[in-house]
Amino acid sequence: MKKKIKSALISVYHKSGLDEIIKKLNDLGITIYSTGGTYAFIQSLHVEAKTVESLTDYPSILGGRVKTLHPKVFGGILGRRDVQEDMDQFKNYGIPEIDLVIVDLYPFEQTVAMTDTEQEIIEKIDIGGISLIRAAAKNFKDVIIVPSEDQYADLLKLLNESNGFSTLEDRKRFAAAAFNVSSHYDTAIFHYFSKDNDTSAFKVSLKSGEILRYGENPHQMGVFYGNLSKIFQQLHGKAISYNNLGDLDAAVNLIRDFDEPTVAILKHNNACGLASRNSLIEAWKDALAGDPVSAFGGVIITNQTVDAVTAGEINKLFFEIILAPAYDKKALEILESKKNRIILQKNAYDLPGRQFRSLLNGVVAQDADQKTETAEDLKVVTKKAPSEYEISDLVFANKIVKHTKSNAIVLVKNKQLCGSGVGQTSRVDALKQAIAKAGEFGFDLNGAVMASDAFFPFADSVEIANQAGIKAVIQPGGSIRDQDSIDFCNDHEMAMVFTGTRHFKH
């Protein structure tokens, strides 16, 4: 059913883009009620409006905390036009029908991000605005609610196209947007108050969603909820897919553990090539050498600006995505030669410290694995201590294995990934896979180091590593049979260090 807008209540914090709406409401002869700064803004446009105070006979009180909380305001919004008793009360108490509510909320999240001053934050908890939004949305049968500046354009389009009328479908659509805004706002406030308190509640609110081409497979629907523009800018290429997002998440988490010029190539969330060198071109060549077969169709990430020379070499490979902090102009031109290739520029952004995923009929949450061991964290448990050169490679390998799907083994030599065993059901199988990979691509493992994401339950892994020429090992330790592995290393002049930290990744 179409309804004509005859009166509107406007009380907003954000006024950008509001002027065109006000002028259109005025052109349509719609009565406008307003408060404080919004009323002054309307007056500046030479548009007639009535103050809410003239309706309620109450001024704004308590430092502006109470302005619209009054029966004449909320009655005008909540009154059911098809209920005669409500209409009789409108008449008896002099309550005007309010058909359109334009209101937004104090910037609570922005205030939390800018200050630690509790009182300033508390004052940005909106009371009147959130109440008006809920009231108008509840009575969508009769009222249109515009809950934020994000809906200004939609309202203006409606006013222009329908000449001041709205359908039930229109009003319900705006109501859905309103409850999205209000629930997100309440969730943000909950997180502020619960950050220092133990709570069993799990609440996440992400207002925007982007429909993906499909999910993990073409027969699955996929949606990403969040704001990717905080993480990176897309400079070129096709739309990012569900599987791309998984690789990008793994890549961004991986690269932040490396300070030297580093290139990593990922496939199915795992590094198949990675190297740190003095120059980007050297890092690229050695990363690619780690597994040039798996690199095909992969995701490339670096912590350096991509130059034209390196871009020319990278361009020889078919890959899906490249992510870097910056690109030289010529490098970008080279990489853009493929129409669908996704080119991303990473922003300076810290990833959230909490992670969650759906399991069974619920959600599990945990702290992100942000522990990265340094040389100072290593405990030598064998008679032979690793050399300074080996320590550097052990720390390097441990960073990679931390970001590799369990069970995981990583083999490294001279800060280059030589082979990895990924996602295996036994640690021995992971090691055999890593050795086979290294051999396939011509790596000499004599002098290489081995990293494991978890302890060795038996000595078999260090026995196999020794046969391959590996003489230094890093692992968390913690097995009841640790001594078996230690004894083997001592008998074969191998060095082994414990970190004390397991890095399972599933």
Catalytic residues: 138, 268
Pairing of the two strands 342-346 and 232-236: antiparallel
Q: Are 247 and 299 in contact (CB under 8 A)?
A: yes
* Residue 81 backbone phi and psi in degrees, to 5: -70, -20
In terms of C-beta density within 10 A (0-12 exposed, 13-18 middle, 19 or more buried), how is residue 469 classed? middle
Rounded Cα distance, 150 and 177, in Å: 10
In the chain, what is the straight-line distance between the N-terminal and C-terminal CA atoms, in Å?
A: 53
230: amino acid identity, one letter: K
Cα–Cα nearest to 473, from 406, 405, 378: 378
- Mention every residue, 6+ apart, whose C-beta is less than 8 A from residue 442: none
R_g of the chain computed on alpha carbons: 31
As a three-state string, the secondary structure of 279-342 is: CHHHHHHHHHHCCCCCCCCCEEEECCCECHHHHHHHCCCCCCEEEECCECHHHHHHHCCCCCCE
User: Position 409: which residue type?
Assistant: I
What are the percentages of helix, strand and coil residues in the chain, rounded to 5?
40, 20, 40
Distance between CA atoms of 236 and 142, rounded to whole angstroms? 46
413, 449 in Cβ contact below 8 A?
yes
Q: What distance in Å separates the CA atoms of residue 327 and residue 335, rounded to the nearest whole number?
A: 10
Question: Any residues with CB less than 8 A from the CB of 206 and at least 6 apart, and which?
Answer: 225, 226, 227
Cα separation, 6 vs 10, in Å, equals 13
The residue among 8, 59, 30, 18 whose CA lies nearest residue 148 is 18
Question: What would you measure as the largest C-alpha separation in the chain, in angstroms?
Answer: 98
The total of other beta-carbon atoms located within 10 Å of residue 24's CB is: 16
Query: Which of 301, 297, 305 is CA-nearest to residue 330?
Result: 305
- The CA dihedral of 478, 483, 486, 492, to the nearest 10 degrees, is -150
User: DSSP E strands: which ranges in 91-204?
Assistant: 100-103, 144-146, 165-166
